[in-house]
Each structure stands twice: as C-alpha cells, then as structure tokens.
Amino acid sequence: MSAYKCFHCGSKIKSEDLNKRFVCPDCGSRIFFKPRTKMKTVTSD
Ligand SMILES: [Zn+2]
C-alpha cells in the first residue's frame, strides 16, 4: 500500500485517507509527496 508524506510537517498519510479528505490531519496542509519505498540513511564520521 502506498503512503504519502506531508510536505509541511512530515506526517505519514495513507493514500486511502487522502481519498476521503486531501488534507494533512496534523497541520492541515495540502501539499504531499510520495517518498521512495526505500530510504537510505547514510551516516559518516
Ligand atoms: Zn502535515
């Protein structure tokens, strides 16, 4: 299942939730982006 991320506060929102109401439940923003399925975390000393 795909999920979106709020561009404003970074909350994860399921696509099925966006079908009902296309706003972020946390901050009310309407800008979302689809994060990559796999996120790479790189740490360097
Ligand atoms: Zn938000």
Domain assignment of residue 21, yes or no: yes
Q: What is the pLDDT along the chain (45 residues), one digit of tens a residue?
A: 678 999 999 999 988 887 888 899 899 999 999 887 665 677 777
Residue 18 resides in a domain: yes
Ligand 1 centroid, distance to 42 Cα (angstroms): 25
Question: What integer pLDDT is reported at residue 39 of this predicted model?
Answer: 58
Q: Give residue 45 CA to ligand 1 midpoint distance, Å.
A: 32
Distance 2 CA to ligand 1 centre (A): 17
Cβ atoms of 32 and 6 closer than 8 Å: yes
> So what's the pLDDT on residue 30?
94
Distances (CA, A) of 27 to 13, 17, 24: 12, 15, 6
How far is the centre of ligand 1, averaged over its atoms, from the C-alpha of 44 (Å)? 30
Could you tell me if 24 and 11 are in contact, meaning their C-beta atoms sit under 8 angstroms apart?
Answer: yes
Distance 5 CA to ligand 1 centre (A): 8
Domain membership of residue 20 (yes or no) is yes
Q: How high is the pLDDT of residue 40? A: 65
Residue 23 belongs to domain spanning: 3-33
